[in-house]
Amino acid sequence: MKNICFILIMALFSCKQSETKVNIIDNMGKYITASAIDETVKELESKYPQSDRELIGRGVKLVSEFWSSGDGSPDEFKEFCINSYSQDKKALADRFSKNLETVFGRFSQVGKEMQFPIHVEDGDLLPVDEIFASWSPFAHVSDDWFDNKLAMILHLNFPYYSLDERNAKGLQWTDDENAAVNLGLYFASRTPGRIQQNIDEISTRAEMYISNYNIYMHNIVDEKGGRYFPEDMRLISHWGLRDELKSNYTDRTETGLLKQKLIYDLMIRIINQEIPQEIINTPGNDYCPVNNRFFRNGRDTVPEREKDTRYAFMLEIFRASKAADKYSPLYPDAIKRAFDQGLEMTFDEVETMFTTFLSDPVIEKIGGFIGRRLRRPLRAYDIWYDGFKARSSINERDLSARTVKQFPDAKALERQLPNILQLLGYGTDRAEEICQFIAVDAARGSGHAMGAAMKDDVSRLRVRVPETGLNYNGFNVAMHEFGHNVEQTVSMYDVDNYLNSGIPNTAFTEALAFLFQKRDLDVLGFKENNPDKARLAILDNYWHAFEIMGVALVDMYTWKWMYANPDAKPEELKAAIISIAKDVWNKYYAKVFDVADSPILAVYSHMISYPLYLAAYPIGHLIEFQLEQHLEGKDFAKEIDRIFSIGHCSPNVWMTKATGTKLSVEPFIKAVTNVMDEINAQVDD
């Protein structure tokens, strides 16, 4: 009892300390006066006349943005700056580099271990697993490094450069200069650990909600009670549902159309939160999404619907993220943290890129071409049309028969990763060198890749593997995630300075993932001799970019709406998202499909489990196109190694170093317009 009381007292004391800490740093950025900043800068300039005056001013000003009354008086601020300024920037940067790799690398390892049970199909989940997974070893790093002034020393000596500056100057910087600039991007927020921990806890609960959002498809019936899906088919929303819908384009019978329509209607019920609670992750009862009828033990029953859970989670994540805004002077809201900081592209820049792409009239020509191929009018779910791929002419059962035999479990896939790289053009030694840092796990969810944050750690490839073995859809996903893992390994191990490791943003890893994913049939030994293969590949990439750009805009506009309506209720957010999805649809999609008011763009589960991430996918498609154009006629493996060892710099600088041109939608639009002109000319002939 004594120990329990002691623990309770310490917990209460810690909470009180945390609350006090939040209150103390609330005046950061307002505590140090302009005159105190000027005095400090002048004294440093006098003490170090050979130093860059502009950088001194930047550093002192930046420290003042984070300094609060709890850090010391204005005189102590001045004393700290005078004593902490270093002329030997290289030695200081090297020390930070070494220790940041240790901290972030080890903590990343710990975090992955804590999350292992909720990510990997490895026995039953225990009630404590969610608590372990939601605990983050990173939560208090910012607190600690600001408290002991390490973050202040960093900001003083390696001041922040804006995105515009990095785009303008990045090509001229040496590796050491680029590393110093990257160092200045660390600790851009001073979010208290309690607030960060709350964000992590809510995000973990949202991820678990999505990871367990499975539909037993044998229980999905049409209006007459007809069943079309096998007994063992359990699909996660939205990924599994979407992939099953896509797979039915090879079935030209009425059954294929019925299955696609049932999946589409099911998705609409999920978006509207009309789906019965008992259908989610529960087998045995039948449900007809067409008319929303539910049959419990064979009896037509009025079901209890899911209670706007997906929208409640979105609001929880939004409010938790918004609580961190005032502690982030460089990126003062979650949208800027996702775009300016995370993507290193502004919201407006991305929106303009997407709307330019979506508005180009060539997309209507592609839609007409798809309609001719399908020999029917387009339907809303044809945003997932998959007929441009080489596999569209191959029965998926044949593909799955091969993958199930070749990859009966996750470890079989892991053993064959070096062989997959060799089939993509890598030499034996290089393939083994890369794959020693990649491990494969059977995922509970749809699958993902988790990179390492230090050398000597491994990247994780997670893919859902049924008991019968890895089916073709699973292998296709695995190839995508393997692309991520190769990027994660090359951009870590082939970059000399840890501070330069990585890539500009997640869209760049998506681009390599797409490059790997589209070569899945080559790996399986299915060769496509279609002379139109190159043109169809461009159309395939363009159509998928078209689909996901609308989804990304819905995600982006939803966060704008939540910031404008911070006190919204889940049902209000649901109505808003459905309205936003319909607006985006009507503006950019209705003219292609001749269907108005579809909310289907709101179905993506990323909006709950990976908020403000969706924009990375269409940007990834744009990067993929430019990389493919660059790779044509070159050694694929050698160029991939060169390109992804460029390291972290701004997106435009990276693209220029990789391909010689900046990131743009124009080359893609021009290429696909030429393709459609050629196709239409053939039709006219």
> What is the DSSP code string of 358-416?
HH-THHHHHHHHHHHHHTS---GGGGG--TTSGGGGS-HHHHHHHHHHH-SSHHHHHHH
| Global confidence as pTM | 0.86
Residue 145 within any structural domain of the chain: yes
CA distance 400 to 470: 8
CA distance 532 to 673: 15
Residue 628 within any structural domain of the chain: no
Angle between helices 533-564 and 309-322 in degrees, nearest 10: 70
Residue 52 within any structural domain of the chain: yes
* pLDDT at site 645: 96
Q: Which residues contact 551 (CB under 8 A, 6 or more apart)?
A: 601, 604, 614, 617
* pLDDT at site 392: 63
Q: Which residues contact 575 (CB under 8 A, 6 or more apart)?
A: none
* pLDDT at site 340: 94
Strands 459-463 and 438-442: parallel
Residues 397/519, Cβ–Cβ less than 8 Å: no
- Give phi and psi for 521, each to the nearest 5: -70, -35
Residue 299, beta-bridge partner list: 296
Q: Per the omega criterion (within 30 degrees of 0), is the bond before 480 cis?
A: no
* pLDDT at site 683: 65
Which residues in the chain land under pLDDT 70?
A: 1-24, 390-393, 528-531, 683-685
The token duo for 261 is: 């329509």
Residue 377 within any structural domain of the chain: no
Residue 329 within any structural domain of the chain: no
CA distance 620 to 450: 18
Local structure of 442: helix, strand or coil: strand
The one-letter amino acid code at 376 reads R
* pLDDT at site 218: 96
Residues 100/153, Cβ–Cβ less than 8 Å: no
* pLDDT at site 6: 31
Residue 522 within any structural domain of the chain: no
Residue 180 within any structural domain of the chain: yes
C-alpha angle 256/259/265, rounded to 5°?
140
Residue 261 within any structural domain of the chain: no
- Could you read off the pLDDT of 314-354 as tens digits, one per residue? 999 999 999 999 999 999 999 999 999 999 999 999 999 99
CA distance 586 to 296: 38
Q: How many domains does the chain have?
A: 1
Query: In which domain, by residue range, is 126 found?
Result: 26-208
CA distance 402 to 417: 16
* pLDDT at site 14: 38
* pLDDT at site 531: 65
